[in-house]
A and B are shown apart, each in its own frame.
Chain A
Amino acid sequence: MANSGARSFLQVAATEEVAPPLRVVQIEGLVVLKIIKHCKEFSPALVTGQLLGLDVGSVLEVTNCFPFPIREEDEEVEAEGANYQLEMMRCLREVNVDNNTVGWYQSTLFGSYQTVELIETFMNYQENIRRCVCIIYDPSRSNQGVLALKALKLSDSFMELHRTNNFTGEKLREKNLSWVDIFEEIPIKVSNSALISAFMTELEPDTPVNQCDYERLQLSTHPYLERNMEFLIECMDDLSMEQQKFQFYYRNLSRQQAQQQTWLQKRRAENMARKAAGEEPLPEEDPSNPIFKPIPEPSRLDGFLINNQIANYCNQINGVAGQSFSRLYLMKALHES
């Protein structure tokens, strides 16, 4: 370690340029409660808010947050929204809250958050802050007694690809990127100040059962599963639409290639004839001909996102069904005893 002590500041500065990858998102209990309050109050409307905190090495600390007013598609309102954001940040700074944006949170319904909008918002944030995270809270899932909080970020390779906005099959193959690699889930840690943990220990009611237990033991999960299945079916429809788009594209492509072939053969035969007649051969390509115009390949992004959605719904169904199993067996055992 003697060597590292003798390093010059320049060296230190140079090594610090390489940021370690983000490993953990550390959220304060306060932020968890604030997010839940905001999302629950406005549910089923979807809401968003900003996360404030600190970026410490491989840990992103989220120490505070504030909600955004419900957005309306109006330019005037949008400008007001920006003002609101600045005003809120200024106010919070005055009471010594960390004044550093680290991302945003949003509510979702049945985990249907994988949208193009999310990716675009993320890219916007990413432009300004090097490290940002999106926290997703699902109020509908919380009714099952689960704390449905997730921290997401886009993977680096996906972001790179998104910047060039090139989602052709060839490019994706080159990068070896599949739909699983779009989102990265980051483990969440919850931290509390000593003061809060003292208060909570003191104030914890002395009951053996709490609200969460009631909800977990609710036998009726059918509405939730039904909605999930409905969404899943919708996704399937979307996916088959996407696939049709691709089939259409490939059919067009092969038809075009066939046309090109016939044209080329004709041109070659013509050239042979011209050669025999001692004339200059015609060029073997003709850019002005419409059959040489490349057909744009549809973006695979939508398909990828739908795949992600489907996987998510499947996971949710698996989780809830698994829970119901234990519940049913519990009921059976209780009934028998």
Chain B
Amino acid sequence: MASGGQTVLQFPQASTNLTARIHPLVIFNICDCFVRRPDQAERVIGTLLGSVLPDGTVDIRNSYAVPHNESSDQVALDIDYHHNMLSSQQKVNPKEVIVGWFSTGFGVTGGSALIHDFYSREVPNPVHLTIDTGFTNLGASIKAFVSVNLSLGDQQLAAQFQEIPLDLRMVEAELVGFDILKTAMVDKLPGDVEGMEATMERLLALIDDVYKYVDDVVEGRVAPDNNIGRFISDTISSMPKLSSEAFNTLVNDSLQDQLLLLYLSSITRTQLSLAEKLNTAAQIL
């Protein structure tokens, strides 16, 4: 972006420590809107909702597309639609306010400044999020920008888009499971046992990795790294030191508790089905 060659050109530093945090739902929604865009449209734009956290992070939690018309040098946004949708969204969650706007495509384009101006009137210092749905650089590039004033001495020259760090909050996606979200079609939701199995496999793989690493270090195949060593020793020391007996009683007590519960619930179920059978027997008689 603008590389000021002159010494008097000033970049304000105040807003550069701003970061944005984006939830996976926003990406999903924007992609969906892009897939459903009108025939002639090349990109979709829309509003980002969320909140500004006390530490200045912009938390982007929700979004909706706004219809627009674009020609070579002008952009017409459906402002009525924008306001209607906003008031509807606010009815559900009043805590989510406008924090910026999004557009698909790679980086900032010409019309972006105009739309950014419009959003600046809705909310001070909006965030501009771009999602590259065309995979221009063979990668999923998601970027966030804020507008920064560029001034020459005291004179206001222009505003430029400055990229700010973006934090992808994938925790929610992890809760659902990436296996479900990244494949085109999943036939069955994973149940309790399958999930547990996958987790255990991963844990086992991790333990194997650590074993291998320790063995390699001991035998001198890999240069030791103090940091990793400290992590491993921290992990091991975080396990409470219990005598074997105490541990066994602990585990056995828990097991017995669970067994009791299992027994209780099974007996209840049996009762229910027995009652069911009695009911059917009564019909036959």
Contacts and interface: CB of A to CB of B under 8 A. Distances in A.
Interface of A: 28-30, 32-34, 36-38, 41, 64, 67-69, 84, 87-88, 91, 94-97, 142, 145-147, 149, 173, 178-180, 187-205, 208-213, 216-217, 225, 229, 232, 307, 310-311, 313-315, 317-328, 330-332, 335
Given A34-B25, A95-B36, A217-B203, A324 B258 contact: yes
Given A91-B84, A197-B182, A201-B182, A311 B272 contact: yes
Contacts of A197: 181-184
B107 interface: no
Interface stretch (B122-130, B132-140, B218-226): B132-140
A67 B62 CA distance: 12
B52 interface: no
A212 B266 contact: no
A198 B78 CA distance: 30
Nearest to A201: B182
B27 interface: yes
A196 B28 contact: yes
Interface of A is mostly: helix
29 contacts: A29-B28, A30-B32, A33-B24, A36-B175, A37-B25, A69-B91, A69-B92, A91-B88, A95-B36, A96-B37, A97-B36, A145-B195, A147-B176, A147-B177, A149-B189, A193-B32, A193-B184, A195-B34, A195-B35, A196-B28, A212-B174, A212-B177, A213-B202, A216-B199, A307-B272, A321-B259, A322-B193, A323-B192, A328-B251
Contacts of B192: 146, 319-320, 322-323
B3 to A, nearest CB: 30
A315 B265 CA distance: 8
A310 B268 contact: yes
A212 B35 contact: no
B258 A321 contact: yes
Contacts of A193: 31-32, 35, 184
Given A95-B33, A211-B174, A195 B133 contact: yes
B88 A189 contact: no
Given A33-B25, A189-B185, A321-B259, 17 more contacts: A29-B176, A30-B25, A33-B28, A36-B175, A37-B25, A95-B36, A96-B36, A146-B191, A200-B173, A203-B140, A209-B202, A210-B174, A213-B202, A216-B195, A314-B272, A315-B265, A319-B192
A317 B282 CA distance: 31
B31 A196 contact: yes
B247 A335 contact: yes
Given A37-B61, A208-B202, A322-B193, A190 B25 contact: no
B269 interface: yes
Interface stretch (B4-12, B108-116, B149-157, B164-172): B164-172
A25 B32 CA distance: 19
